[in-house]
Amino acid sequence: MSHLMNTYARQNVTFTHGEGVWLWDINGKRYLDALSGIAVNTLGHAHPRFTAALTKQIGKLIHTSNLYQVQEQELIADKLCQLSGMQEVFLCNSGCEANEAAIKLARLYGHNKGVADPSIIVMEKAFHGRTLATLSATGNRKVQAGFEPLVKGFVRVPYDDLEAIRQVARHTPNVVAVLVEPIQGEGGIRTPDISYLHGLRNICDEQEWLLMLDEVQCGLGRTGKWFAFQHTDIMPDVMTLAKGLGSGVPVGACLAAGKATGTFKPGNHGSTFGGNPLASTAALTTLNIMEQDKLLDHAAKLGAWLKQQFLARLGGTKGVVTVRGQGLMLGIELDKPCGDLVGKAREQGLLINVTADNVVRLLPSLVFSESDALQLLDILCPLITEFLAQE
């Protein structure tokens, strides 16, 4: 019997090693990885240049402390600001921690301008993590049930609904920020109207609220831009990152710009491991390789082609509601729960995920090739068609 806490309904498969977009299990069976550890393995598995850079760093220094200057942390902060236009970075180890930092920053920003009881607008179907504050910000009762009392200070509105936010602005005086995913990941790869972020930016400017974007899943090249907000002409005040940032090494970041800059002072926030030399090197190397190998353009082009192929092959199929998403962040919504597809795909050597009960979620690594994409289509499309034809 396992001595692990029973927190996951794990699939019955164990992997021993990987290479690129492929994983091998303990029986030697090979799998095409179209999930990349839930948008984590940006560079696929065992990327040679990434492995070499990490190996070198491990031989020099893994951890010192945030009591000291950390050169590698300065470099990744510079790089993230250069790519995003943001001004400062706090480094941590995960998405929920990045969001905790954002939530604390927003509250402090509120207190600094005299709001004693600050609250943050959050969205239905949002996912922001599993710590107490982030599960309270999450818009999914399953994530919250049993962990009450929830953290106070969140006001929930429907996603992609600017009028609902204007309503809150009129009636709730203590709001200081909006926290939102530019594309909802766990919520079912939901993409808002193209004018949504722009509208949010306008309201936040009028109200002097912080616009805080959770790009933990959609950021870091997945949508074909470094950050999903870069498909628009707006800038956020706060942005959070994690998943793909370290290509598998745990690292998260909370970035600030504009009126959010300079909010935290020494003693306000911290993390023992946050941004240690190993994690910072993993992040910096990931970004450098993405740049050298032009993986953003690749993600944009391959993603657009994949989406068009899914639409062509499944668009007319009864039971397929929509194919949506951007770049290599794609969702295929079916008209019934489809969790069974995960096992059926795995039997055929393909790793996928189902989220929000009825959305097939694809988050392949950014090194996925056109021939990998063809194999994905050739396995998945018939599976979905057969699945929908049953009953």
Ligand X SMILES: *Cc1c(COP(=O)(O)O)cnc(C)c1O
Least distance CB 253 / ligand X (angstroms): 11
**Interaction of residue 217 with ligand X, rule CB under 6 A:** yes
> How many residues belong to the chain?
391
Residue from 310, 344, 78, 100 nearest 212 by CA? 100
As beta bridge partners, residue 333 has: 322, 359
- The token pair that represents 128 in the structure block: 């922001």
- The token pair that represents 97 in the structure block: 């921690």
Contact window for ligand X (CB under 6 A) among 94-102, 167-175, 324-332, 374-382: 94-102
For residue 66, how many other CB atoms are within 10 A of its CB?
Answer: 15
- Terminus-to-terminus CA distance in the chain, angstroms? 37
Q: Taking a C-beta distance cutoff of 8 angstroms, is the pair 224, 327 a contact? A: yes
Decide whether 136 or 313 has the Cβ nearer to ligand X: 136
CA 161 – CA 125 distance, rounded (Å):
13
CA 56 – CA 299 distance, rounded (Å):
28
State the residue number with the nearest CB to ligand X.
95
Q: Which residue of 72, 100, 181, 237 would you call a contact of ligand X, by CB under 6 A?
A: 181
CA 133 – CA 345 distance, rounded (Å):
35
CA 253 – CA 93 distance, rounded (Å):
8
Query: In the annotation, is 243 catalytic?
Result: yes
Query: In the annotation, is 264 catalytic?
Result: no
Least distance CB 232 / ligand X (angstroms): 18
Total interface residues for ligand X by CB under 6 A: 15
As beta bridge partners, residue 324 has: 331
Query: In the annotation, is 372 catalytic?
Result: no
**Please, which of residues 117-136 interact with ligand X by CB under 6 A?**
127-129
- Binding site for pyridoxal 5'-phosphate: which residues? 127, 214-217, 272
Least distance CB 352 / ligand X (angstroms): 16
Q: Which residue of 18, 37, 44, 95 would you call a contact of ligand X, by CB under 6 A?
A: 95
**Please, which of residues 231-270 interact with ligand X by CB under 6 A?**
242-243
**Please, which of residues 14-43 interact with ligand X by CB under 6 A?**
none
The one catalytic residue in 50, 90, 237, 243 is 243
**Interaction of residue 94 with ligand X, rule CB under 6 A:** yes
Q: Which residue of 43, 216, 245, 260 would you call a contact of ligand X, by CB under 6 A?
A: 216
- Binding site: which residues? 127, 130, 214-217, 271-272
The one catalytic residue in 50, 127, 227, 229 is 127
Q: Which residues lie closer than 8 Å to 68 by C-beta, 6 or more apart?
A: none
Q: Which residue of 76, 96, 213, 251 would you call a contact of ligand X, by CB under 6 A?
A: 96
**Please, which of residues 147-176 interact with ligand X by CB under 6 A?**
none
Answer positive or negative: Cα dihedral of 129, 131, 134, 140: positive
Q: Which residue of 72, 100, 214, 237 would you call a contact of ligand X, by CB under 6 A?
A: 214
- The token pair that represents 198 in the structure block: 């722009």
- Binding site for N(2)-acetyl-L-ornithine: which residues? 130, 271
Q: Taking a C-beta distance cutoff of 8 angstroms, is the pair 77, 245 a contact? A: no
Pairing of strands 210-214, 350-351: unpaired
**Interaction of residue 361 with ligand X, rule CB under 6 A:** no
**Interaction of residue 185 with ligand X, rule CB under 6 A:** yes
**Interaction of residue 187 with ligand X, rule CB under 6 A:** no
**Interaction of residue 213 with ligand X, rule CB under 6 A:** no
CA 184 – CA 138 distance, rounded (Å):
11
Q: Taking a C-beta distance cutoff of 8 angstroms, is the pair 222, 329 a contact? A: yes
Catalytic residue list: 127, 214, 243
Which residues are near ligand X by CB under 6 A? Answer: 94-96, 99, 127-129, 181, 185-186, 214, 216-217, 242-243
